[in-house]
Amino acid sequence: MMMKCSEAAEKWDVTERWVTQLCRKGRIIGAVKEGRNWLLPEDTARPGDSRVKSGQYRKYRNETVVSGKFREGGTEYDSVLPLPVGISDYVKAQRDYYYVDKTLLIRDILDAKPFVTLFTRPRRFGKTLNMDMLHVFFEKTDEDNSVYFRDKKIWKCGEYYREYQGRYPVIFLTFKDVKYDNWEDARDKIASLLQDEYARHSAILEQDVLHEYERKYFMKIVDAKASDMELSTALASLSAMLDEVYGIAPVIIIDEYDTPIESGYSNNYYDKVIGFMRPFFSGAFKDNPHLSFGFMTGILRIAQESIFSGLNNLKVNSVLDSDYSEYFGFTKEEAEELLHYYGDESKAGELMEWYDGYLFGDMEVFNPWSVISYVDNNCMPSAYWVSTDSNEILDEILKNADDMIMDRMNCLLQGEKVIAAIDAGVSYPMLESDPAYVYSFLLAAGYLKAKRKGISGTGNIMCEISLPNKEIRTVYRVEILGHLKKIGMITQSSASAIEEALYTEDAAKLESAFSFYLDRTISFYDANTEGFYHGLLAGILATMDNKYKVLSNRESGDGRFDLALIPTTVSGVLPGFIIELKYDRNLSVSKLKTLAASTLSQISDKRYEKLLIDEGTKKVIRYGIAFSNKKVAVVKD
């Protein structure tokens, strides 16, 4: 008789994933695989080495866990901790899950003693967990929170650092869920967060120190009766009251401070959210005598809106800076140790290919969310990061992208490096004024890595930018196509029809696919430049599979072609493509066809195929495409 892995897991009181891994590794005699499932002999004894490799938290029945061991029925087994998938609670993460010790962040902060620090990092790089760690370490409580640090690296740094533990009252807010399509709901959510934080500190009302007006103000926040003006001073007011009661200025921590600002920009209430945030943050961090330390995290440094106007003591730590680099994301050593702990050392190469490559300062780091998800999912590589949140930044980027931006995106997708100016103080409206700020947004959001090259004449940092890893290349293809679809530039069916016609060398079908798409999706007023069509086709090609390297506006022969597809292998099986585009207004069908035909002569006369031939392409297909408003003509040599 045979039993399923789920039955064995229940019988042995372990996880199904652990049983599956043992079967896969050949450690259960007689186990066989049927389809996607493993079956094992019903009389198989429970293995002595109980390494429970699961990302799902579970407590063992009748067990006592001590130093990574648990005892059951008089027998001691190794207890392998579950992975902290989606856990941002420091106490729970370090107590119940596999925890990568980042507590030396506390040491570095105390050594530098910055008054207010803003950490800007991409989403899912451990910002919230680190801020909660600071919260637990610094906060003065009735309980002894030192127990959560006594076995951590910070505790070994000496008495000087340990004296800061439990020393301050702490105000802690996270704005990571303030994502609404209107200001009223966003404001109510912020009011709710303040209501909870005030209520958490309600013990101060039992003291006789506070004035009556302070008590009334306090209860307005708790009872959700505060006006917008009263809410905007809530951080400054609470910090003053905590200082009065405890005799020591509090620590203020704001996690993901720019989430409501991003939502405001995407949903057209940007001015309202900025108007609220300016006094809200300035009161808390600018010349506040009731503040010991301030910490903020976010994706962007919002400088131009003057949210932090006059805050000269703000220390900004971005992805370009070297300080604190190892505390956001996993280092190579930490990733390798995690693989070793779960017995997956053989997957180190694949892990690096997919999730390594981010560059914070001069340090290469792994995406922690993706690493944890990868190991938790039986080391199955996938774009885990793209599924965590919708990133509306790309909407704005692609909405304003010109043909040069799309050209560079194509280059990045092909694994090339691009030199670009990076502005560390980029703001959302800057996208409208200059699409070139796209690279600063993409870097801050985690879509690029950058090596600092130098300072330009305008003061911008010039960087060599590229895609960090295979996961981000996948994300680019998925999200660029998704966002192009979202803003009406392209549909999946249209992209598929155009790709199919291109591959089958069917000019008539390609013309029909383009005509069908243009007629039903674009505005007559959009279609008025050759650059518009160039960017449109470049966007479609950017979403194609990895069989081709897509080039745009490159020198070849005696000129510059518009678009080219070069096979990524030199087997000679796949052809290469040269595509030349033309545009003119209000042409008849016959004149449009003549204009398309003229491109073939240009391709031939200028020897555009030379670059493809030099790279080993055996066969080159030449396409000429002419546009006139919503009409299109396609010819092939």
Give one DSSP letter per residue of 188-208, joined into a string: HHHHHHHHHHHHHTGGGGGSS
DSSP lists the bridge partners of residue 567 as: 548
Cα angle 570, 572, 576 (rounded to 5 degrees) comes to 85
Question: Is it the case that residue 304 has pLDDT exceeding 60?
Answer: no
Report the distance separating Cα 186 and Cα 184, nearest Å: 5
Question: Is it the case that residue 262 has pLDDT exceeding 80?
Answer: yes
Let me know how long the chain is.
637
Confidence band, pLDDT 50/70/90 cuts, at residue 486:
low
Report how far apart, in Å, the C-alpha atoms of 568 and of each of 59, 235, 241, 548, 617 are: 50, 56, 65, 5, 10
Report the distance separating Cα 97 and Cα 137, nearest Å: 19
Long-range contacts of 594-599 (CB under 8 A, 24+ apart): 595/626, 595/628, 595/633, 596/624, 596/625, 596/626, 596/633, 596/634, 596/635, 597/624, 597/635, 598/624, 599/624, 599/625, 599/626, 599/635
Report the distance separating Cα 395 and Cα 425, nearest Å: 20
Are 186 and 180 in contact by the 8 Å Cβ rule? The answer is yes
Question: Is it the case that residue 481 has pLDDT exceeding 90?
Answer: no
pLDDT score at 572: 66
Mean pLDDT calculated for residue range 109-128: 93
pLDDT tens-digit map of 274-290: 899 989 998 999 889 99
pLDDT score at 293: 94
Q: Where are the beta strands (DSSP E) in 406-543?
A: 418-422, 449-455, 461-466
pLDDT score at 157: 96
Question: Is it the case that residue 475 has pLDDT exceeding 90?
Answer: no
Alpha helices in 293-341, H assignment, sequence order: 332-341
222 CA to centre of own chain = 34
Report the distance separating Cα 35 and Cα 451, nearest Å: 47
Question: Is it the case that residue 335 has pLDDT exceeding 80?
Answer: yes
Grouping H, G, I as helix, E, B as strand and the rest as coil, residue 330 is strand
DSSP string, 338-386: HHHHTT-GGGHHHHHHHH--EEETTEEEB-HHHHHHHHHTTT----TGG
Q: Which of 59, 276, 248 is nearest to 170 (CA)?
A: 248
Rg (alpha carbons) of the chain, rounded to whole number: 29
pLDDT score at 30: 84
Give the pairing of strands 65-66 and 563-567. unpaired
pLDDT score at 584: 87
- Listed range (60-74, 544-558, 563-577) with the worst mean pLDDT: 60-74
For CA atoms 292, 306, 257, 426, give the dihedral sign. Answer: negative
Q: Which of 149, 37, 27 is nearest to 99 (CA)?
A: 149
Which DSSP symbol is given to 448? -
Report the distance separating Cα 207 and Cα 215, nearest Å: 11
Quick one: residue 112, left, alpha or beta (phi over 0 = left, psi -120 to 50 = alpha)? alpha
Q: Which amino acid is at 514?
A: F
Alpha helices in 159-313, H assignment, sequence order: 159-162, 183-200, 212-222, 228-232, 234-246, 259-266, 270-285
Are 544 and 496 in contact by the 8 Å Cβ rule? The answer is no
Question: Is it the case that residue 87 has pLDDT exceeding 70?
Answer: yes
pLDDT score at 440: 86
pLDDT score at 324: 95
Which of 34-43, 482-491, 602-611 reaches the highest mean pLDDT?
602-611
Confidence band, pLDDT 50/70/90 cuts, at residue 347:
very high
Question: Is it the case that residue 105 has pLDDT exceeding 50?
Answer: yes
Read off φ and ψ for residue 603, nearest 5 degrees.
Answer: -60, -45
Determine what percent of the chain is predicted with pLDDT higher than 90.
44
Residue 412 burial (CB count, 10 A): 22
Give the pairing of strands 563-567 and 559-560. unpaired
Cα angle 238, 244, 248 (rounded to 5 degrees) comes to 95
Are 236 and 280 in contact by the 8 Å Cβ rule? The answer is no
Q: Which of 462, 467, 461, 435 is nearest to 448 (CA)?
A: 467
Residue 122 burial (CB count, 10 A): 22
Mean pLDDT calculated for residue range 509-514: 86
pLDDT score at 523: 55
Question: Is it the case that residue 153 has pLDDT exceeding 80?
Answer: yes
- Answer whether 0.75 is exceeded by the pTM: no
Average pLDDT, the chain: 83
74 vs 622: which has the higher pLDDT: 622
pLDDT tens-digit map of 420-457: 888 777 776 776 667 678 888 888 888 899 987 777 66
Report how far apart, in Å, the C-alpha atoms of 426 and of each of 274, 280, 437, 457 are: 15, 21, 7, 18
pLDDT tens-digit map of 199-213: 999 999 998 899 999
Confidence band, pLDDT 50/70/90 cuts, at residue 513:
confident
pLDDT tens-digit map of 25-68: 677 888 888 877 889 898 888 765 433 333 333 333 233 333 34
Confidence band, pLDDT 50/70/90 cuts, at residue 405:
confident
pLDDT tens-digit map of 349-371: 999 999 999 999 889 999 999 99
